[in-house]
Structure 1
């Protein structure tokens, strides 16, 4: 093992090697644990050596995000637009499950990265080639929101920051305290009305695979219905 690590450290430093190591560090300990110093230490170089390949930490984070987005499957050829969009969204979700820090990193960026823009552009292209008007496609992308990238901000998620260090078995939704449940009985009722698949949670909270696909299918079915009706925003 030590010999393998030594061999890795002797490998030439490159942008790709830096990014893959940074992603691995974030996967293991969360995005907040990543610094240029500990990244350099993991690579066996001095921190200044990194700046020959990435200008700063912001550029590093953007490139890490783009690497994760690069794991999303390409569009399905000759598939119905609804099936194609569903497959790509679930592929995006699978990528985020492998990298729990990525959703928070995406949300924290002020601007979309080139890979995210290319991915979103290809989703719109799928909608347009499937017969949706530019008007409807515009509103579809608003309705999908972050879900098109594989995650959603859930109403009952009380642990948004959990993804900073990756999910743990202890980070599970808890029942409302009795006094709160007594004051808001309907919320308390639905909070325990269904079970969730703990293994499929991206980050933590109720955003599990079932809930995600349930909402995604509701949206896609509704969008298809609007398309068939020839809906336009001018008819509101």
Structure 2
């Protein structure tokens, strides 16, 4: 009887988590454009076809990489503890920055892969994370409008500054956007049922306020420069 290559040793014993970890290693070595199923297979010591038991292809694998990088962010913030909404934003920003600096080659995927809904923003791109963000700020006294505006400004700041930072460390952020094919899932009813803050503010989340965000961010930057001058 022929032995499956997946069972010939601990190095080749596969599961989805190991496949995703292998993809992260390949991206670190070859960049996003260099990620192929063949290379992941080589990284794990198996034939590329063996990977298709765990992911349907490269596109799903890229999405799984982003989920792995950003998964558990809010749990880590909660574990740190915070005593104010300012402390929460600082802890969350540092956690995301830690992901960017630990995985600079893969982090641009967080900016370019489709979020769970088209009106969510990277890198806080999942309904669960946005729900946690909105619940924390409204719990601290923000109304819905102020909480959504804070989410938009915060994500704009994060993605802009962190993409610049990883680019400065040599990561190629050009063309990564081509990695995301297809759109967001057609239905989000299941996820939204467990996210009352997101569901309640969905209309405002989907409103384009990018010009206002740019002006507010610019004013804040100028104010800070003036204070330190």
Q: TM-score range by the shorter chain?
A: 0.5 to 0.7
Q: Which has the larger radius of gyration?
A: 1
TM-superposed CA distance for 1:56, in Å, is 1.4
Deviations 1:28-68 (A, max 9, x none): 33222211111112112121111110011111111111111
Structure-1 residue corresponding to 2:137: 127
Cα distance change of structure 1 residues 153 and 25 upon mapping to structure 2, 3 Å threshold: closer
Aligned residue among 141, 145, 168 for 2:155: 145
Structure-2 residue corresponding to 1:50: 51
The whole-number CA distance in structure 1 between the counterparts of 2:40 and 2:22 is 7
Cα distance change of structure 1 residues 96 and 153 upon mapping to structure 2, 3 Å threshold: closer
Q: Give the stretch that moved more between structures: 131-140 or 28-37.
A: 28-37
The whole-number CA distance in structure 2 between the counterparts of 1:160 and 1:112 is 29
Cα distance change of structure 1 residues 109 and 71 upon mapping to structure 2, 3 Å threshold: same
Where structure 1 has 5 or more consecutive residues not aligned to the other structure, the ranges are 1-5, 166-214, 223-236
Q: Is the 8 A contact 1:66 1:116 kept in 2?
A: no
The whole-number CA distance in structure 2 between the counterparts of 1:47 and 1:68 is 23
Q: Is the 8 A contact 1:21 1:43 kept in 2?
A: yes
* Number of residue pairs matched by the alignment: 161
Cα distance change of structure 1 residues 145 and 101 upon mapping to structure 2, 3 Å threshold: same
Equivalent residue runs for 1:56-205 within 5 Å: 56-70=57-71, 72=73, 73-75=76-78, 76-77=80-81, 79-112=83-116, 116-117=125-126, 118-148=128-158, 151-152=161-162, 162-164=170-172
Deviations 1:133-152 (A, max 9, x none): 10101111121234346844
Structure-2 residue corresponding to 1:206: none
